[in-house]
Structure formats: structure tokens, C-alpha cells
Amino acid sequence: MTELAAVKTALKTQAVETPSWAYGNSGTRFKVFAQPGVPRNPREKLDDAAQVHAFTGAAPTVALHIPWDKVDDYGALAKYAQERGLKLGAINSNTFQDDDYRLGSICHPDAAVRRKAVDHLLECVDIMDATGSKDLKLWFADGTNYPGQDDIRERQDRLAEGLAQVYERLGDDQRMLLEYKFFEPAFYMTDVPDWGTAYAHCLKLGPKAQVVVDTGHHAPGTNIEFIVATLLREGKLGAFDFNSRFYADDDLMVGAADPFQLFRIMYEVIRGGGFTPDVAFMLDQCHNIEAKIPAIIRSVMNVQEATAKALLVDGAALADAQRTGDVLAANAVIMDAYNTDVRPLLGEVREELGLDADPVSAYRRSGWAEKIAAERVGGQQAGWGA
């Protein structure tokens, strides 16, 4: 098989999971700008997600968020998704919006609040059983705003105790994906602030506990691809929450702020053997001012472009240059791949899949945006930040 044929074959296997909350209205603490046609319930979110998959051919699963996507019958919702060529993906817990969680959830000093948080996580595993989801995604907003507010060590003990109870509940083919974030909404200390803390807890819990790397969750200048390479080497990279940032956890379209960083991340994924279904490529984004569905389509395309470039790295030439210490030749191998325009290649891949070479233009011509704006009047669901 030629190199390009192998690259095309690999690209046809790639799947990017879209988040239900990206389809809903969202904003910052300053304002949520409602958009016409936005979904009013989880089924309409799946209708929109089906459009992303129909035009990209690379977004077959949708992450749910509980309670934002709470329904009476999760089995029926899974069937609804299946009828649209989709599968329900990761179940995202929410221990950050109840008033009880003001001082934390699973790390809270009050055992009754910790119990409530763990019960919510166990409910999410029940939902996984109903939807057939394999992944429970855990992001804790837990932390403190002032030195002395609570004891750092005791909060780690509470976290470990709560996670162990949930880990015990997981089925043989289910995973717990623990996400870290260096700040926000806590401003002095976050209980899972970095990859090391997430890794340490996952190591203690066992093989079904893995780390989520959210690309917006690092201090500026962090070498994220180093974290990716290290977690892969330790067998503890479970998923990405892909997005883009200029300053903090901006949740912008992945690849829009720093496509070179996304390429370097994808290179380390491929180099480390992580280009497999064991590493979930999820989006975790909010489209506060731009049209949501085309923004999600563009995000999927950005992940595909970074992946295509990373697949084009000449591994043999790179290894030679590295072995001989030829710095400029080694860097040139990386830059040659990054500077390759892979849009024609991806256009061919899409056409070979029976899709339009340009998913965004094809979506714009489809009339879906006009259709949902006319039909979905009133009752729009609040999403992230609303």
C-alpha cells in the first residue's frame, strides 16, 4: 500500500465525538446570545449531531451531559440516536451547578454533600448501562478560593474515597475518564489541577481509570504534547476534550487558535500508538457567537487536517536525523509535514466515502439551518454557561 493510501485508510477510521452541549445555547457569565433554531431537547441535539456526521462522515458518537440531557428513557434515546446513524458516547457528570456544591462536591468537607455527589456519579453509571456508553467523564470544579479555606491533603483523601466507590461500580467494559483543569471556577486551588494529580489517582484506582486531556485546561505555554506522550507511554491517556484557547478555557473551535499545537499533539498520539478507539477524540466546545453546527463541522475538519499532517511525518527520515543529532534536518521533517496542504487529500477521502469534499459548504447548501430556525420556535434549552 502506498504511503498516501495508508494515510487515507487511517483517516477513514478516525472518529470525533461531538458534545451535546455544543449544540445548545451557551455563553459566558456576561451574556448568553440565543441563536435561532437551537435544540429544545436532547433529541433535537441528536438531530443536529446527525447533520455533522452526515457531512463529515467522522462524528458518529455524541457525548451526553447529565442533567442537561436528562430524559425518562435513556434506552429510547439511544435508539433515537441509532436511527440517525449515531451512538451515544461518553456520559458527562455535573457536580458543579447545585447550590450544595458551593464548597465542592466529592471533596466537600460535609459527608452528606460528598454522598450526594457520589450518588450522582453512580446514577451516571446507571445511565451508561442504559445507553451502552463505555465512558464516564468526570470533571470536578472542586477547589478553594483562599489559602486555609480547606485542607489540601484531606480533600485529596475525600476525592480518592469517592472515586473508589464509583470505580467499584463500573462494568468490565466501562471506563472512568478523569479530567484535570488548572483553575476555574476555583481560583486558589483546584482539587484535580494537572495531569500528575489525575494520573496519580487513576494509577491507584486501576486499569479502568484513565486521564482526559482537555486542551484548554493548561497554563499558557504548557507543552501539552509532552503530557500526551507521557500518558500514552504509561497507558493512561483515555480521551481528549479538544478545543482552542487564546487565554484560558475559552472552548473555541479546536485548531482555530494554534493549529501547530494540535498537529504536534496528533503527532505524539500517532507516534505513541494512540490512534486507536482506546483514545476518545472528543470535542468540548461552546459556540457562543458563531453558528453552532458549521462550527462543529469545522472543528471535526480541523482535527482531521492535523491528523492528516501528522500521518505524513516521515518517521524513518526523522529517526535518522534524530539519531545523528541533525537538529535542522529533524525539525525540517516535522515542518515539511505540517506545511503540507492536506485539504485536497481530505477532499479525496470524503469523496471516496461518498461525501462532498467541502462539508461546511455542503451543509450551508442543505437548508438545515433555515429548516430548524423555522420549526424550533421557543423553549430553547440552556446549555453551558447559561
Q: Which amino acid is at 221?
A: G
Bridge partners (DSSP) listed for residue 18: 62
Could you say whether residue 45 binds ligand AOS (CB under 6 A)? no
Contact by Cβ (8 Å): 135, 170: no
- Report if residue 61 touches ligand AOS, rule: CB under 6 A: no
Task: For the CB of residue 139, give the shortest distance to ligand AOS in the complex, in Å.
Answer: 4
How many residues bind to Zn ion according to rule CB under 5 A?
4
Start-end of H helices in the chain: 3-13, 42-56, 74-83, 111-131, 152-169, 195-205, 224-233, 259-271, 292-311, 315-323, 327-338, 343-352, 359-366, 368-375
CA nearest 187: which of 241, 249, 243? 249
Shortest gap between Cβ of 337 and ligand AOS (angstroms)? 29
Closer to Zn ion at the Cβ: 58 or 178? Answer: 178
Residues 6+ apart with CB under 8 A from 306: 255, 259, 262, 263, 265, 266
Interface with Zn ion, residue 17, by CB under 5 A: no
Q: Rounded to the nearest whole angstrom, what is the least distance from the CB of residue 139 to Zn ion in the complex? A: 6
Min. distance of Cβ 212 from ligand AOS in angstroms? 7
Of Zn ion, ligand AOS, none, which one sits near residue 92, judging by CB under 5 to 8 A according to partner kind? ligand AOS
Site string for ligand AOS, 179-198 (x = CB under 6 A): x-x-----------------
The binder of 285, among ligand AOS, Zn ion, none, by C-beta within 5 to 8 A per type, is: none
Which residue, judged by CB position, is nearest to ligand AOS in the bound state? 139
Q: How far is the CB of 185 from Zn ion (least distance, A)?
A: 11
Q: For the stretch 236-256, what's the b/e string if a residue is b when 16 or more beta carbons lie within 10 angstroms of its beta carbon?
A: bbbbbbbbbbeeebbbbbbbb
Distance in Å, CB of 257 to ligand AOS, minimum = 16
Number of neighbours of residue 72 by Cβ within 10 angstroms = 6
Task: Tell the residue number behind the cell numbers 482555530, with chain if given.
Answer: 256
Partner from ligand AOS, Zn ion, none contacting 304, C-beta within 5 to 8 A by type: none
User: Nearer Cβ to ligand AOS, position 48 or 308?
Assistant: 48
Residue of the chain from 44, 47, 214, 268 that contacts ligand AOS (CB under 6 A): 214
Binding partner selected for residue 225 from Zn ion, ligand AOS, none, CB under the kind-specific 5 to 8 Å limit: none
Least Å from the CB of residue 332 to ligand AOS:
36
Among 150, 249, 268, 305, binds Zn ion (CB under 5 A): 249
Contact 87, 53 (CB under 8 A): no
Out of 26, 35, 56, 94, which residue is the one contacting ligand AOS (CB under 6 A)?
A: 94
Is there binding between residue 135 and ligand AOS (CB under 6 A)?
no
Q: CB of 216: closest distance to Zn ion in angstroms?
A: 5
For ligand AOS, the closer of residues 8 and 245 by Cβ is 245
Beta bridge partners of 32: 27
| Contact predicate 215/244, CB 8 Å | yes
CA distance 230 to 297: 30
DSSP 27-96: B-SS-B---TT--SSHHHHHHHHHHHHHHHS---EEEEETTTT--S-HHHHHHHHHHTT-EEEEEEP--S
**Rule CB under 6 A: which of 342-381 touch ligand AOS?**
none
Interface residues with ligand AOS (CB under 6 A) are 65, 92, 94, 137, 139, 179, 181, 214, 241, 249, 284
Name the site residues for Zn ion (rule: CB under 5 A): 214, 241, 249, 284
